[in-house]
């Protein structure tokens, strides 16, 4: 175990923000994690942050505490029945690599989640989702290390309280657990979700006549690459804002005032397109120094080079304020702010 001091986090977050960690350590096994947690330094530091792929965070200042990089690896099928497989992935695995592994082995259910940035450990925390599929649809259980009790526990789906881009790990359990591995129930017979976004149009453009999890994944990848910036080229954290959810009464009033409002049914409510709201306020393609709103996707805030996290946060607040002023709808950040 090696705990380093005053380490730049620029290469550990997809925004490319040059914040610094007071202390930094990486763990590749449960034993290394336990060694870090048992250290005097960890015990004396008030703040600790678990870092996966760094794809859903914005550093607005240096981190006054210890950052732990989760580098756990491993993917395996741990059981199967007549209809499904239980596939386990360590929290430090790259999410898209895991998706491709499952597709190669004909494990169906997460092909619509192709090319989402980040690591496996973040998938239940955020209840990541895209194109009609969410983690809660395929989640079976996870194993996590309880920092205070110093033991590994298993949590089933019901204990995670999944919501829209939400889970108990963003609330009651936020500081309690370090996720070690996630287990997913994936299907032997795929159920195809092609009615979301432009998947059907992209499949037609690809000349696909027979659906498979492989070609759905490829369609999703091509759609995402056509409209979302590559974090390796332009710093970003993917969708910065959640799509707001409003009541049917609110939706009726907005629809009368704004006939072109983009919305979707969501349980007993209505989900609005945050991208449409933001674009309608004129932010798409806006740039202020090196902080900007992407020219192809208004949901994505970007760092064109040397933007400070505070500048990106300030831009996000301006967007939130303008959307509220025009539509009386409050946008919520999806990205975690530090």
Is the Cβ–Cβ distance between 17 and 309 less than 8 Å?
A: yes
- Tell me the catalytic residues: 165, 239, 334
Distance CA 140, CA 156 (A): 6
DSSP, collapsed to helix, strand or coil, labels residue 85 as strand
How many CB atoms sit inside 10 A of residue 38's CB?
11
Q: Is 67 exposed, middle or buried (0-12, 13-18, 19+ CB in 10 A)?
A: buried
Bridge partners of 288? 291
Distance CA 119, CA 96 (A): 8
Q: Is 44 exposed, middle or buried (0-12, 13-18, 19+ CB in 10 A)?
A: exposed
Distance CA 72, CA 53 (A): 12
């Amino acid at each position: 175990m090696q705990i380093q001091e005053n380490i730049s986090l620029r290469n550990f977050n997809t925004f490319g923000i040059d914040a610094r960690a007071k202390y930094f350590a990486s763990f590749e096994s449960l034993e290394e994690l336990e060694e870090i947690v048992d250290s005097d330094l960890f015990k004396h530091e008030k703040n600790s942050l678990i870092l996966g792929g760094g794809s859903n965070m914005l550093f607005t200042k240096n981190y006054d505490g210890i950052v732990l990089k989760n580098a756990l690896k491993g993917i395996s099928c741990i059981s199967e029945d007549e209809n499904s497989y239980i596939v386990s992935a360590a929290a430090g695995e790259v999410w898209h690599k895991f998706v491709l592994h499952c597709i190669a082995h004909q494990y169906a259910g997460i092909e619509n989640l192709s090319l989402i940035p980040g690591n496996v450990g973040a998938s239940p925390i955020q209840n990541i989702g895209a194109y009609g599929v969410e983690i809660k649809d395929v989640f079976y259980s996870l194993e996590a290390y309880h920092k205070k009790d110093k033991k590994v526990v298993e949590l089933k789906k019901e204990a995670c309280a999944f919501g829209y881009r939400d889970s108990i790990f963003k609330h009651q359990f936020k500081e309690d657990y370090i996720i070690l591995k996630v287990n997913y129930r994936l299907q032997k017979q795929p159920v195809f979700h092609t009615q979301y976004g432009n998947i059907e149009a992209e499949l037609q453009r690809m000349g696909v006549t027979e659906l498979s999890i492989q070609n759905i994944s490829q369609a999703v990848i091509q759609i995402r690459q056509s409209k979302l910036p590559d974090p390796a080229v332009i710093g970003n954290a993917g969708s910065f804002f959640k799509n707001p959810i409003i009541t049917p009464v609110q939706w009726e009033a907005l629809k009368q005032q704004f006939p072109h409002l983009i919305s979707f049914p969501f349980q007993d409510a209505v989900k609005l397109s945050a991208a449409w709201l933001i674009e309608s306020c004129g932010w798409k393609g806006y740039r202020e120094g090196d902080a900007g709103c992407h020219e192809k996707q208004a949901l994505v805030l970007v760092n064109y080079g040397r933007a400070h996290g505070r500048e990106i946060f300030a831009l996000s607040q301006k967007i939130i304020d303008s959307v509220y002023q025009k539509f009386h709808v409050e946008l919520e950040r999806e990205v975690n702010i530090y």
